[in-house]
A and B are shown apart, each in its own frame.
Chain A
Amino acid sequence: MSADRPTHDPLLVEIGTLELPARLLSDLAVNFAAKLEAKLAPEGWIAGAGNPVEAFYTPRRLAVRIAGVAPLRPGQIRIQRGPTLEQAYDASGKPRSAALGFAKSQGVELDELTVESGRLVYRFTEPAVRLDDRLPTLVEEALRQVPADREMRWAAGIPPFVRPIRSVLLLHGASLVRGRVYGLETGRFAQGHPVHHPEPVPIRLPDEYESALRRAHVLINRPGDATLREEIWAKIEHSAASFRPEWHPLRSAATLKEVSDLVEWPVAIAGTFPHKFLELPQSVIQAVLCGQQRVFPLVDTSGDLAPGFVAVVNLESTDLDRVRAGEERVILPRLSDALFFFEQDRRQPFAERARELDSIIFEKRLGHLGLRRERLTLWMERWAGAFGLDPSLAREAASLVLCDLTTTLVREFPELAGEAGAHYAHLHGFQAPVVQALREAYLPKTAEDSLPESALGALLSLALRVDLLAGYFRVGEKPTGQRDPFALRRAAQGILSILDPRAHPGTAYAPSGSPPLALEALFETSLTGYPASAKVSATPASLAAELYEFMLDRLRARHLDLGGEIEAFEAVASLRPPTLEDFRARLDALEALQARPELKTLVQMMKRVGNLLKKSSREDDPTDAPAVQSVWEPDEARLASSLENLESRVRADTLAGRYREALEALLALEAPLAGFFGSVLVLAEDPVLRTRRLILLRRVESLLRTVADLARLKGD
């Protein structure tokens, strides 16, 4: 453009805070960057598209850097268009209310308006705005819009934020942008490491942000970037290797993420714990070390846990041995507690614990755990056969699966449910398949988690999830929007994963049962067996239907997450296939043929078929064929005979589940249908002809709905 266009310099915004919650940090950084960009971009501050907006964070700061931001938004001429002259004035030239109203809405007198192309317009010059005059306001607005589950108020007259804000850095190129944000004077200083660099860190240029902070002993993190995590992991490995060369740290992605969001200057330090604690099941030790203490267990060369760990601290201590001793001292009572609980629990015969379940409330409206156990047992007995399992084994697994909830170990470490039960069941002599099923009962815990390997484990995991969903739906507790307090969506995802054969390469059992289980039927057994007093929100049949729809919603989300197209999904979903296997088979067939040009043409013509059928009135559409035979046009006859050929074949293929063959066959309809539309007038004057042709089209429509509703596909 013109030469007076101002240079665009990078902008750096940092808010220094007290320690932000680790679990929220990366989301906060992403949201702050997004909100700030959403403030700056529409006002034209950001130069061009594709200008990188970078988000940064540490536990004590959130920052955003934008590569090209204008220092000035030039003054510009603005034109507001008002009513036409006819609307504005009456025949005598007197202004009507439209003219007066427009002037008022612009805050000007009538004579300040001008006429352009037959309209009243208000033309004015909007003054230039300097970034310095605008940015502080926009930063504060963006911060106020960053979503947080709970906001903190810390001082009167200051808006709330996740944690107190202590400093605000606004740097545009080399210049400080002066102003006030959250009651604080802006500056060009960032917070350094609290011990290694207590003085504020001057930032000269936005691009020197990371390097200046690194010199001040602060390592900057970026959302979704593993660099810092890997840097920390390397330190952990190094620390372990120099501590005991034969020990290696056990990587836990969750702990590594958490640790990297808790420190600004990570230093790894290895320590030990007494050998006697290795009597504990490895999962218990891991729960204590990773879950409670956020340190990394060490394993020996054979992969067994060693009596050691690596902790990550936030400074280069002048007294490393003292820090090590401190970490060791904290771990000791936790492991002692766990060992005490474990010893106590193992003394009681595991199966006896079932009696205690009646006195533990599962959920107020859903009754106690004893009732849940009975429902699970019934469910397992009913479906064992479909998975090729012995019903008595299924019954045993179901009757034991809740027992570990009465152990002190699980009360202390809820995440060990399942794992703990497996240990105690093993100690008390239960058979290996049951023990394995108990261990697998809560898998998958997350979307990335592994699935049960045994059929009994898979069935048990399904039972727990189906019962959970059915129970909460029964009392009307369905997830809405962001609200899903009972994690029902995750439970549904787990069911889909377990029933998805593609998630189980090489498993010995049919993951969807054999024959595949109908989704609605899965829930039926779980909709009864509750306390009589509980209010029920609907009949079992309608609840099962609601649950089917809910599963379909999850399946849709999963399909889209994997990059699938919504149209193909809806084409299949509209037929409401009863089993997931059937759903998947139809979708696979459709996706395999989707690129075929005949299919696209067919889909385009389907829209036309649909429109014609919609246009036709009811009397045009008797169910019986017309009695009078009049002359068939060639293309009409050709379509009729193609239909004749295809209908039985497509239906036979569909019934046999040969969806791909059925679809391939359907493609043959494209040519006759095109010919038909090319030469035959569907809405003919003669009602007999019209009806006959509409019936042909109805048959086409119905045929193209056998595998999936092809009309829902994209036609372009």
Chain B
Amino acid sequence: MAAFQDMVFGLNQFWTGQGCLWIPSYDLPMGAATFHPQTFLRALDDRPWAAAFLQPCRRPQDGRYGENPNRGQQYFQYQVLMKPTPTDFQERFLDSLVALGVNREAADVRFVEDNWESPTLGAWGLGWEVWLDGMEVAQFTYFQQMGGFDCEPVMGEITYGLERLLMYLTGSADMYALAWNEPGASPAITYGDLFRANEAEMSRFNFALTDPASLASRFTALENEIPVLLAQGLVRPAYEQVIETSHLFNLLDARHALSVSERQRYILRIRKLAQAVATEYRATAR
């Protein structure tokens, strides 16, 4: 597997073959695929769920102006969800690596303890980061709590870090040099062709040009809307506002606009909102 788009197609094909539903990416900026409503909300009810999707993610503070070959403010996650979790979940994951071209006889695959926690979502899970020859390419998690509630039944989540995975598969040390389509295609497009300019501009924007005062007031406005929406039973619109507050918080953080204690307060504010949404969702879903 040498091209980014082929890797995504390969994962789609593999996981739909495992009974997962392919679903679209969500159309709001988010820090990780776990924020996708089909992850967050689905983890809270007791119905079976199996889905796979690509999700563009943003972490403004990771921006490096397109100059660091390993890090960017935007990156892509591929997420697989299975509830209940099949007993051979790990084997299926390993098979997906083989489907992408990993040679199990040659590659050192390791599952190293990594306990995932999202303080803003009031969520935590237990699991592993997955190393391929020492490089972390995926996270493997059994959700234990979401929005402050125990996940029952437990939902299993695999999150592939696609840039790193392809860097591993192609032996590349530069994410921007990764082929997006077949290297022989015409025109041949790289990851850098598509996103490097975006990285440079977005880094400038995130680090220097956002207005912290207006970010903070937008945060407060959204925060005030959420209870109103929930009072009318509008769980999904309310959850969208939670996703947005989280991104605003990340933008504020990238400006170093928050002291340590203020930062902690923002996290707690978002968690409270996420918990309110989770409570309302469970009341209607169960």
Contact = CB atoms under 8 A, between A and B. Distances in A.
A591 to B, nearest CB: 45
A195 B105 CA distance: 6
Contacts of B168: 326
B144 A155 contact: no
A326 B134 contact: yes
A329 B173 contact: yes
Contacts of B107: 317, 322-323, 326
B153 interface: yes
A60 B128 CA distance: 13
Interface residues of A, number: 42
Q: Is the interface of A mostly helix, strand, loop or mixed?
A: loop
B111 A359 contact: no
A293 interface: yes
Contacts of A164: 87, 142
Nearest to A327: B134
B104 interface: yes
Contacts of B142: 152-154, 164
A448 B112 CA distance: 27
Contact of B103 (A152, A313, A318, A364): A318
A297 to B, nearest CB: 15
Contact of A262 (B87, B112, B156): B112
B154 A155 contact: yes
Nearest to B128: A19
A331 B133 CA distance: 11
Interface in B28-81: 68-71
A18 interface: yes
Given A293-B134, A318-B106, A323-B107, A23 B113 contact: yes
A72 interface: no
Nearest to A271: B134
B111 A19 contact: yes
A314 B112 contact: no
B162 interface: no
B108 A163 contact: no
B70 A333 contact: yes
A299 B112 CA distance: 28
Contacts of B150: 153
A23 B112 CA distance: 10
Contacts of B113: 19-23
Interface in B244-286: 259-261
A325 B104 CA distance: 16
A331 B115 CA distance: 23
A332 interface: yes
A152 B135 CA distance: 25
A361 B260 contact: yes
B217 interface: no
A317 B105 contact: yes
Interface in A127-174: 150, 152-156, 163-164, 166
B144 A152 contact: yes
Contacts of A194: 94, 109
A711 B242 CA distance: 69
A360 interface: yes
A154 B85 contact: yes
A150 B115 contact: yes
B260 A326 contact: no
A323 B68 CA distance: 23
B85 A155 contact: yes
Q: Most chain-B Cβ atoms within 10 A of its Cβ — which of A293, A295, A327? A: A327
A424 B93 CA distance: 46
B111 A18 contact: yes
Interface in A322-377: 322-323, 325-327, 329-333, 359-361, 364
A208 interface: no
B229 to A, nearest CB: 32
A319 B106 contact: yes
A323 B105 CA distance: 11
A155 B153 contact: yes
Interface in B103-136: 103-113, 115, 126, 128, 132-135
Contact of A323 (B94, B108, B152, B259): B108
A319 B132 CA distance: 13
B171 interface: yes
A273 B142 CA distance: 36
A610 B183 CA distance: 94
Contacts of B84: 155-156
Contacts of A688: none
B144 A18 contact: no
Contacts of B104: 195
B172 to A, nearest CB: 9
Interface in B217-257: none
9 tightest CB-CB pairs across the interface, nearest first?
A: A326-B133, A21-B113, A319-B106, A19-B111, A313-B108, A330-B134, A152-B126, A333-B70, A327-B134
Interface of B: 68-71, 84-85, 87, 90, 94, 103-113, 115, 126, 128, 132-135, 142, 144, 150-154, 156, 167-168, 171, 173, 259-261
25 contacts: A18-B111, A22-B113, A152-B126, A153-B152, A155-B153, A155-B154, A156-B153, A295-B134, A311-B134, A314-B108, A314-B109, A314-B110, A317-B106, A318-B105, A318-B106, A319-B103, A322-B171, A325-B133, A326-B168, A327-B134, A330-B135, A333-B68, A333-B70, A361-B260, A361-B261
Given A154-B142, A313-B108, A323-B108, 19 more contacts: A18-B90, A150-B115, A154-B85, A155-B85, A156-B84, A156-B153, A164-B142, A194-B109, A195-B109, A317-B105, A318-B105, A325-B171, A326-B108, A326-B171, A329-B171, A330-B134, A330-B135, A331-B134, A361-B261
